[in-house]
Amino acid sequence: MKNKRFLNLLKAETRKRVPLEAVSAAFVEVFDEYDDHPNFREPLASLLNDLAAQGKVVLPKGKKLWDTIEFPKLPNWVEVVADGEADDTIESITWLPKLRPVAEQLKQGSSQWLDLAKINAYLISHRNRLMPVPYRERSLKIFGNEHYLDSKIHKGFLFWGKLPVEELSAFVPSEPMPYERPPSLVTGQPLLIVENHHSFASFVQVNAIQNAFSAICYASGNTLSSREHSLDAIGEKLETNSYLYLGDIDPRGLSIPCETNKARKERGVPLLEPAIGFYTWLFENGKPVPIDKKQPSVDMAKVSEYFWDDNTAIQQMEKMFQDNKRIPQECLGTQELVALDMVTTI
């Protein structure tokens, strides 16, 4: 039985030729009596020779392909011979304690189950030697394809919530948040996050003169949810935890900060706040235009909470949305910003 478990660990490797390091790790994992044993090479060499004689593995022939530094010599790699048998069962694999409960929930032999077996084999062969890396790097090492896990990770979990990606000593990196500071490099002022790159250009240009914000950040619309993790690092660097947001006054433009705040609240980090002075200016001076594209509905209760229960603003929004109208943030453009004192407006 132990021989079969050893073979299955080697089969779970993505590489056709399993390197000696992984072979040795699999051996001491299955034959734990040799863990930290000074002479584990003897029983490993004997096992490999037996398996080769049985036609279950292929060992290299050239002398240069063997590790001869210590005795007995061991092959630099081992190639497992495919025999067509369904050897992989939940009992034939030595599972890490944190992975066995996941294996028991997956259909044995399914693609997910086989993926987990490969993950298990990799973690065993690299036990206590892994540091957290972006998940694509780990995907490349385990599956030979950096994009293999892209469609398999949902909200930081594999196998539909059963295994945190952190268990692979990996993480889902957040997209960087582009931002630009004024020439004065002022710190301690709020950050302003704007929804599109045209407004970003205008605010950057005017802020370079008025120094109202430590930086202008580019949210890029719906990508804010994948970028907002960067805000806290930027805020720490620029000595502020005040994050003001300005977007279009329409259902989509309002749902973005509301949904972002939901995630930030769960993490216990400072919430986005509406740039009230700029929104007020838009209500008073902006020109409503028709909503020409279908937009998702927005929870006005969440919007009300986001705007600190500003009933006047909420009523204006509801009336405007009923009339199928919106106010683009571009109404507050470069020329209008130059005429404002942004420091007192915010």
Q: Distance between CA 216 and CA 205 in Å, rounded?
A: 10
Percent of the chain with pLDDT over 90: 57
Q: Is residue 88 a part of any domain in this protein?
A: no
Q: Is residue 212 a part of any domain in this protein?
A: yes
Picking from 121, 156, 173, the residue at the C-terminal end of a domain is 173
Which is more confidently placed, 179 or 87?
179
Q: Is residue 245 a part of any domain in this protein?
A: yes
Provide the pLDDT for residue 50: 78
Provide the pLDDT for residue 38: 67
> Does 86 score more than 70 pLDDT?
no
Domain match, 195 and 297 both: yes
Provide the pLDDT for residue 188: 97
What is the β-pairing status of strands 272-274 and 74-75?
Answer: unpaired
Domain match, 331 and 307 both: yes
Domain match, 108 and 232 both: no
Condensed to tens digits (0 to 9), the pLDDT of residues 264-291 reads: 999 999 999 999 999 999 999 999 999 9
Domain match, 127 and 247 both: no
CATH number of the domain that residue 248 is part of: 3.40.1360.10
Q: Which amino acid, 98?
A: K
Domain match, 139 and 262 both: no
Provide the pLDDT for residue 25: 87
Percent of the chain with pLDDT over 70: 96
CATH number of the domain that residue 78 is part of: 1.10.10
Cis omega (within 30 of 0) on the bond before 97?
A: no
Tokens linked to 108: 């044995």
Provide the pLDDT for residue 83: 60
Domain match, 261 and 149 both: no
Q: Report DSSP letters for 26-60, one per residue.
A: HHHHHSGGGTT-TTTHHHHHHHHHHHHHTTSEE--
Condensed to tens digits (0 to 9), the pLDDT of residues 290-304 reads: 998 888 788 888 898
Contact 107, 113 (CB under 8 A): yes
| Category of 120 on φ-ψ map: left (φ > 0), alpha (ψ -120 to 50) or beta | alpha
Which is more confidently placed, 133 or 155?
133
Domain match, 6 and 35 both: yes
Provide the pLDDT for residue 92: 67
Q: Report DSSP letters for 121-189, one per residue.
A: HHHHHTTT----EEHHHHHHHHHS-TTTTGGG-BTTEETTTTEEGGGGTEE-PPPP--EE--TT---SS
Domain match, 154 and 210 both: no
Condensed to tens digits (0 to 9), the pLDDT of residues 93-137 reads: 789 999 999 999 998 878 898 899 889 989 998 888 899 999 999
Condensed to tens digits (0 to 9), the pLDDT of residues 10-53 reads: 888 878 889 998 898 888 888 888 776 667 888 898 889 878 86
Q: Distance between CA 51 and CA 315 in Å, rounded?
A: 78
Q: Is residue 89 a part of any domain in this protein?
A: no
pTM of the model: 0.65
> Does 85 score more than 50 pLDDT?
no
Picking from 26, 59, 82, the residue at the C-terminal end of a domain is 82
> Does 240 score more than 90 pLDDT?
yes
Instruction: Give me the domain span that covers residue 332.
Output: 179-345
Provide the pLDDT for residue 12: 81
> Does 1 score more than 60 pLDDT?
yes
Q: Distance between CA 206 and CA 52 in Å, rounded?
A: 74
Contact 215, 234 (CB under 8 A): yes
Structural domains of the chain, count:
3
Q: Is residue 90 a part of any domain in this protein?
A: no
Domain match, 74 and 99 both: no
Average pLDDT estimate for 67-84: 83
Q: Distance between CA 203 and CA 300 in Å, rounded?
A: 28
Picking from 82, 103, 135, the residue at the C-terminal end of a domain is 82
Q: Is residue 184 a part of any domain in this protein?
A: yes
Domain match, 322 and 247 both: yes
> Does 144 score more than 90 pLDDT?
no
Q: Is residue 43 a part of any domain in this protein?
A: yes
Provide the pLDDT for residue 297: 81
Domain match, 214 and 328 both: yes
CA angle 166, 168, 169 (to 5 degrees): 65
Rg (CA), the chain: 29
Condensed to tens digits (0 to 9), the pLDDT of residues 51-66 reads: 886 778 888 888 889 9
Helices 2-11, 41-53: inter-axial angle, 10-degree rounding: 80
Domain match, 252 and 326 both: yes
Average pLDDT estimate for 144-167: 93
- Could you give phi then psi for residue 294, rounded to 5 degrees? -65, 130
